[in-house]
Structure 1
Amino acid sequence: MRDQEEFIVSVGVIPEEEASSNNTTKFERMADTTVDGGTWTGCAVMFLQSLCPGVDLLSLFKDRDQGKFIVFKVIKLTLIDSAGGLGGYEILKVHDADPFLGVEVKFLDEGACQQFLESYRSGAVHQFLSQHACRLLALSQELTVETKLRASTHILDLYLDKLELCLKHIHLSQPERLRDEEIDHLEQQLQTPALGAAPQPTTITQEESTVPSNCFRFQNKVFEDRKLTAADVQSFSNGVGRQWKHVGRALGKSCRALKGPAIDNLAYEYEREGLYEQAYQLLNRFIEAEGRAAKISRLVKALEDCKLTNLAENILDPQT
């Protein structure tokens, strides 16, 4: 883990005791300056490690030009999905933090940073990473990824129930470098179709840009990725029947409130009320736990995973 420690130092870590001192730290002075100047910035480092045998994100990024490009694209698309589009942040460096891959991100907008933190807390970042990695790396199974999130000396995974505190730590952790030249090159590759006979991954501007960041694709149609409504809950509860538990477990992959015995507890608690009420309470529990991150796209994905595409179509278009 020595490389990881050195990497953290390189992005501006200060000793914990110094950070907690009553004296004004360098980061606090920077934060005051950015607030007074009207420009919100901050820096965080996300560490990634694949837990799937045969898939080593660090090795892919280090050892093969094509692998480097694909892994970077997976990271870029994940940030687009989790931070609400192409703006509001930039990747400064991707670094060897063995056994992790370290991704240093500079946030340029408080709203984008908050949306990313909400996605990270809900598990949506893991979901996006898995989806893009499975597609771009042509994996036969879902990719499981371990992540860690730091801002300066602070491990943000410990404070995810306090988003304002996480935002403060990120804001106080100001980047001390410009974007790495390697990242400039990779960003250029994403926007420039490759020439020559060798097969290359599609660029962001071809496939992904056809779907706006606040939308998602289902059955070759594009839908607005809005928050779940009372009508959605009613349609789901009317149509899911005995499959509600399976959908609940699919949602539970990215929702902590539905993990462990939560589904069975709901089944027991509302057994007398019947299937409609059990399904209704399931989706309400999801909405209460996820807040603004309880989007229609996540329910549709869970329904697809459970082979309930007809129900997904009915919820998206009640007239069909």
Structure 2
Amino acid sequence: MADKIVDGGPWMGCAVMFLQSLYPGVDLLSLYKDEQGKFIVFKVVKLTLSDSAGGLVGYEILKFHDAEPFLGVEVKFVHLAACQQFLESYRSGAVRQLLSQHACRLLALPQEFIVETKLKASAHILDLCLDKLDVCLQHINLSQPERLRDEEIDHLEQQLQSQALGSSPQPPTITQEESAIPSNCFKFQNRVFEDRMLTAADVQSFSNGVGRQWKHVGRALGKSCRALKGPAIDNLAYEYEREGLYEQAYQLLNRFIQAEGRAAKLSRLVKALEDSKLTSLAENILDVQPRE
């Protein structure tokens, strides 16, 4: 049912997420109307969607709405899996938690940021049927986009991409042996794998398996990621010490993905794991059998 669109074409649908800050002195709608605050709010929402929908593909932000006292975020989903993962994250409360975490960091707030959320598809309030994800998916599928992406969103996307590219590494020199490997692939243990952006599943596998070695991997990633250079690794260790090794490792990759954007590729993580002598973890993330 939910894997087909109303006209029989590829799956697509729209939803609007309404956000209202409950943090004293922080009004998301007013902040978005401010030229300096607009990009911060956009980045908070974009990072939250990336974390909750499993990456940077499968959806796009079409427009921000003035729905006083709420700020409305209209999102078009073009992949069923991304929409389903977002709904599961929303139902579990993870979306609100991610909004809080990103807002606290980007707005430099001294304490927890609390945000109220509502989710609608056309006239349907999805918060009332979150226990039936197939129904939510059908409502979103039936709510088709009525507009192209707003020019303001195009500008913010370009600004975010420029910020990410500014910290991207220089392309490596390609040797004759490597030239036979397609540009969208990489080699590991004499096997060729398709390169792609890191996913939530990659982050979870890494965080579960890396243990105390996460700092070594972080320093290896820091060779080509400005956000992980200098005292950044030690600062992460101190900031998330009480949460434990899993959270420290999770925040490390989260920081890498935020800083590098589309350049946060699987091949770079695998290379860092190899450099840190953690090939078994790389094998696990790539889902290959370890060598005998």
Shorter-chain TM band: 0.5 to 0.7
Match of 1:15 in 2: none
1:188–1:312 CA distance, 2 compared to 1 (3 A): closer
Q: Does the Cα contact within 8 Å between 1:94 and 1:102 map onto a contact in 2?
A: yes
Deviations 1:52-98 (A, max 9, x none): 10111111001x21100110011111111111111100100001100
1:54 and 2:33 matched: no
1:97 and 2:71 matched: no
1:41 and 2:15 matched: no
Deviations 1:205-241 (A, max 9, x none): 56799x954259xxxxxx7314999x9xxx9xxxxxx
Unaligned segments of structure 1, at least 5 residues: 1-29, 193-202, 217-222, 236-303
2:204 maps to which of 225, 230, 243: 225
1:65–1:310 CA distance, 2 compared to 1 (3 A): closer
Whole-Å separation in 2 of the counterparts to 1:48 and 1:178:
22
Match of 2:6 in 1: 32
Aligned residues: 197
Whole-Å separation in 1 of the counterparts to 2:248 and 2:129:
38
Instruction: Report the structure number with the largest CA radius of gyration.
Output: 1
Q: Does the Cα contact within 8 Å between 1:81 and 1:213 map onto a contact in 2?
A: no
Deviations 1:169-219 (A, max 9, x none): 000000111111111111111112xxxxxxxxxx3456799x954259xxx
Whole-Å separation in 2 of the counterparts to 1:208 and 1:78:
21
For the aligned residues, what is the CA RMSD? 3.4
Whole-Å separation in 2 of the counterparts to 1:71 and 1:120:
19
Match of 2:199 in 1: 214
2:79 maps to amino acid: D
Displacement of 1:31 in angstroms is 3.7
Runs of 4+ residues over 2 Å off in structure 1: 203-209, 211-216, 226-229, 308-314
Identity rate, percent: 66
Q: Does the Cα contact within 8 Å between 1:49 and 1:145 map onto a contact in 2?
A: yes
1:227–1:52 CA distance, 2 compared to 1 (3 A): same
Match of 1:142 in 2: 112
SS of equivalent to 2:55: coil
Match of 1:307 in 2: 242
Describe how 1:269-280 pairs up with structure 2 within 5 A.
Answer: none
Could you tell me the TM-score, scaled by structure 1's length?
0.55
Describe how 1:71-90 pairs up with structure 2 within 5 A.
Answer: 71-90=41-60
Whole-Å separation in 1 of the counterparts to 2:248 and 2:14:
40
Deviations 1:98-117 (A, max 9, x none): 00000000000100000000
1:174 maps to amino acid: Q
Unaligned segments of structure 2, at least 5 residues: 170-195, 212-238, 250-277, 279-292
